[in-house]
Amino acid sequence: MKKVSILSLHLGYGGIEVAISNLANMLIDNYDVDGIECYHSIFNLEQIDLVKEFCQSQKLLMSGGSDYHGLHKPGIELGSGKGQLSIPDDIFKKIVEK
């Protein structure tokens, strides 16, 4: 099985635009990054769309995560996340096909 490298964006450092323009571009230009986490419990729909558009423009895989860290983050169950988190099934299929 081939490895797949997915970048997780943390929006607390200036917002999604700053994260994409600075961190994501630097890592993609200098490292072997296959995709970016587009779906996350703390992302709103606008942020999800911005990250998805960036992935599409750079031909990167998209992924998602519930931010589950075991008992260290109460209130988040494995695979469910917070709020209305919904990660499309085809996201996983594309990662597996890579």
DSSP string over 1-68: -----EEPP-TTTT-HHHIIIIIIHHHHHHS---EEEEEETT--HHHHHHHHHHHHHHT-EEEEE---
Whether 62 shows a pLDDT value over 90: the answer reads yes
Better-predicted residue by pLDDT, 53 or 73: 53
The whole-number pLDDT of residue 58 equals 86
Beta bridge partners of 35: 6, 61
Whether 13 shows a pLDDT value over 60: the answer reads no
First-to-final CA distance of the chain? 10
Q: Find the mean pLDDT for residues 13-38.
A: 75
What is the chain's alpha carbon radius of gyration, rounded to the nearest angstrom?
Answer: 13
Residue 10 confidence class, pLDDT cut points 50, 70, 90: low
Q: For the whole prediction, is pTM greater than 0.85?
A: no
